[in-house]
Amino acid sequence: MKPAAACHLTLILLAALAGRLSAAEPISLGAELEVRPLASGVWLVVHRFPGECNSLLVQCDPNHFVWVDTPCTNEATQQVHQWLQRTFGAPDVIQINTGFHNDNLAGNGYLLAQGVPCYGSDLTPRLIAECWPKTVRKVLPYYERRPDKKYRDTLLSQKLVPPNKLYPLAEGLTLSIGSETIEVYFPGASHTVDNVIVYFRSRRLLYGGCMIKAIAARSPGFTGDADMAAWPHSVQKVLERYPAAHLVVPGHGPAGDLSLVRHTIDLCERHNKRNNL
Ligand SMILES: [Zn+2]
């Protein structure tokens, strides 16, 4: 091989390697917002509000994305949606809310205005109307302690918009998109009484949302809306239904495997023992 050709080949290899490396690197969409490639066609969206709140993007076929949960504000949801439009040529998107808290659906207002259908259980709109104002009062002390008041102010001023595509909670929902089958499953009450999980069958990908804790979690976290007695039993049902799950995404913190599910059962049982539940 001539030196010039060898040099050219090296450049091609370097470019290919750089492309591969950058494909796996987080994409920053601002100081508090990041999109992290998790697997082929799967991205974890992390919104620091102020802790890490997850949502998940799955490319089911080249032109169809499923987005499970939203960032904690319409503004952050808009930034991610615009990145999606820029990067993938305006694909069709559907949103699935896994509960009534703002870390599940605060971006619905923006998404619905963009014509993105938002799926949610038939209990979720009622909980937004009847429980969310009480939830805000319960979590406010945590945000009041922070030096930056913008989280508190957002919490007090934001208006949560319910999903527009409702399904009966107890029945769940099954969607087929491209070659992917998506199951929305309610195993019983947990972190909230409407939390569901979303399972992507061909990817063996389980989005646990706020029902499932990260490995680093040392407690069940915010339990103000939880059914603590039911939570470990509900998670046990998830474990029994999806023993083949390969990748497990919690509502907050890094993804992992089924050990997150077992860890969550353990955390809830310890909590209940300590509190004589
Ligand atoms: Zn949460």
Catalogue the long-range contacts made by 176-183 (C-beta closer than 8 Å, 24 or more residues apart): 177/60, 177/61, 177/64, 177/66, 177/94, 178/60, 178/61, 178/64, 179/60, 179/61, 180/58, 180/60, 180/61, 180/66, 182/60, 182/66, 182/96
Q: How close is the Cα of 222 to the center of ligand 1, in Å?
A: 8
> Which residue, 249, 270, 246, is CA-closest to 36?
249
Q: How close is the Cα of 132 to the center of ligand 1, in Å?
A: 13
Q: How close is the Cα of 252 to the center of ligand 1, in Å?
A: 7
How far is Cα 216 from Cα 267, in angstroms, rounded to an integer? 11
Q: How close is the Cα of 55 to the center of ligand 1, in Å?
A: 10
Q: How close is the Cα of 209 to the center of ligand 1, in Å?
A: 7
How far is Cα 143 from Cα 139, in angstroms, rounded to an integer? 7
The pLDDT assigned to 23 comes to: 53
Q: Which residues pair with 67 in a beta bridge?
A: 57, 95
C-alpha distance from residue 164 to each of 20, 190, 232 (Å): 39, 23, 30
3-state secondary structure of 96: strand
The pLDDT assigned to 215 comes to: 98
Q: How close is the Cα of 104 to the center of ligand 1, in Å?
A: 7
CB distance 131 to 101 below 8 Å: no
CB distance 108 to 119 below 8 Å: no
Q: How close is the Cα of 101 to the center of ligand 1, in Å?
A: 7
Distance of CA 224 to the CA centre of its chain: 20
Q: Which residues pair with 51 in a beta bridge?
A: none
CB distance 208 to 251 below 8 Å: yes
Q: What is the pTM of this model?
A: 0.91
**Local confidence pLDDT in tens for the 277 residues of the chain:** 444 444 444 444 444 444 444 457 999 999 999 999 999 999 999 999 999 999 999 999 999 999 999 999 999 999 999 999 999 999 999 999 999 999 999 999 999 999 999 999 999 999 999 999 999 999 999 999 999 999 999 999 999 999 999 999 999 999 999 999 999 999 999 999 999 999 999 999 999 999 999 999 999 999 999 999 999 999 999 999 999 999 999 999 999 999 999 999 999 999 999 999 8
Q: How close is the Cα of 201 to the center of ligand 1, in Å?
A: 24
Q: How close is the Cα of 61 to the center of ligand 1, in Å?
A: 28
| Residue recorded with tokens 């979720």 | 124
Q: How close is the Cα of 14 to the center of ligand 1, in Å?
A: 41
Q: How close is the Cα of 53 to the center of ligand 1, in Å?
A: 7
| Residue recorded with tokens 């820029």 | 86
What domains can you pick out in the chain, each with its CATH number? 27-274 (3.60.15.10)
> Which residue, 176, 185, 174, 181, is CA-closest to 201?
181
Q: How close is the Cα of 189 to the center of ligand 1, in Å?
A: 14
The pLDDT assigned to 123 comes to: 98
Q: How close is the Cα of 137 to the center of ligand 1, in Å?
A: 16
- 3-state DSSP: the chain helix, strand, coil percent, rounded to 5? 35, 25, 40
* Paired tokens of 62: 């080249």
Q: How close is the Cα of 236 to the center of ligand 1, in Å?
A: 19
Q: How close is the Cα of 41 to the center of ligand 1, in Å?
A: 24
CB distance 122 to 168 below 8 Å: yes
Q: How close is the Cα of 195 to the center of ligand 1, in Å?
A: 10
Q: How close is the Cα of 210 to the center of ligand 1, in Å?
A: 4
Q: How close is the Cα of 213 to the center of ligand 1, in Å?
A: 9
Q: How close is the Cα of 3 to the center of ligand 1, in Å?
A: 57
